[in-house]
Amino acid sequence: MHHFSWLQLFPNVTHETLHVATALLSAVLLVILAFVGRMALGKGDEAVAPASSFSVKGVMEMITEFITDLAELIIGDDGKKFVPMFAAVFFYILINNMMGLIPGLSPSTDNLNTTVALGLLSFLVYNYYGVREHGVAYLKHFAGPVLWLAPLMVAIELVSHMIRPLSLGLRLQGNMMADHTVVAVFVDLFHGMWFIPIPAIFYGMSIFVSFMQAFVFTMLSMIYISMAIAHDH
């Protein structure tokens, strides 16, 4: 059963291609957000001066500082160099999630194709940096600390790593699909009853869930990179 989306009114947009259209729309919105954020920063001394009041610049600084602090907490001093990637992933997921709150729009994050693709991105990135940091020695991570347990540990570690993209994708897709389904049910149930604030309560909950799912996905990606580049294997 599919929900109506305004994108279906465009030619050649079917239910099968709907998630692609919404994913592209989210990417466009992310580029616009980056452009607006850069314009808000200003130039010269104005760009490095902290915002003195609530503004777009202040919000961007707050989120960037939050992601930077989280990356340094989980990864360490090297966390700063990953901030652009983590910020892009966070905003992309957040924008996709929030699109589901707009009537007639469906978030691509409630489609497994999009969420597993994001999981694969995380998988490729942390393995790339693991190999870049340790070289061939990165493979020792799969063998475990005891040599005679290596055959068993290799099998366990390979399965554990291979299911990470799927687990990341299923967690994000399942939570967002459930969240937007609950909101849609209660909005339809109390449609026209403007004096009952229940739909507003569930919209607020959905905004919170959208932030939390973007945060959880980004944090798990940080943890995987931290484990991959750590020198205590």
Q: Is 1 a domain residue? A: no
pLDDT value at position 229? 86
DSSP state of 75: T
Structure-block tokens of residue 37: 């954020």
Q: In the 8-state DSSP scheme, what is residue 51?
A: P
Q: How many independent structural domains does the chain possess? A: 1
Q: Within a domain: residue 25?
A: yes
- What are the distances in angstroms from CA 228 to CA 7, 51, 73, 97, 221? 40, 36, 16, 28, 11
Per-residue model confidence as pLDDT tens for the chain (233 residues): 445 565 666 666 665 566 666 667 677 777 776 676 666 565 655 555 666 666 666 777 788 888 999 999 998 888 888 988 898 899 889 888 888 777 767 777 888 888 888 999 999 999 899 888 888 777 777 766 666 677 777 788 788 888 888 999 999 988 888 887 777 777 777 665 655 566 677 778 888 888 999 999 999 999 999 988 887 64
Tokens of 64: 């960037």
Place of tokens 């709150």: 101
pTM of the shown model: 0.78
Give the model's pLDDT for residue 218: 93
**Looking at the domain assignment, is residue 33 inside a domain?**
yes
Taking only Cα atoms into account, the Rg of the chain, rounded to an integer number of angstroms, comes to 21
From the centroid of its chain, how far is CA 168? 10
Domain of residue 200: give its range: 6-229
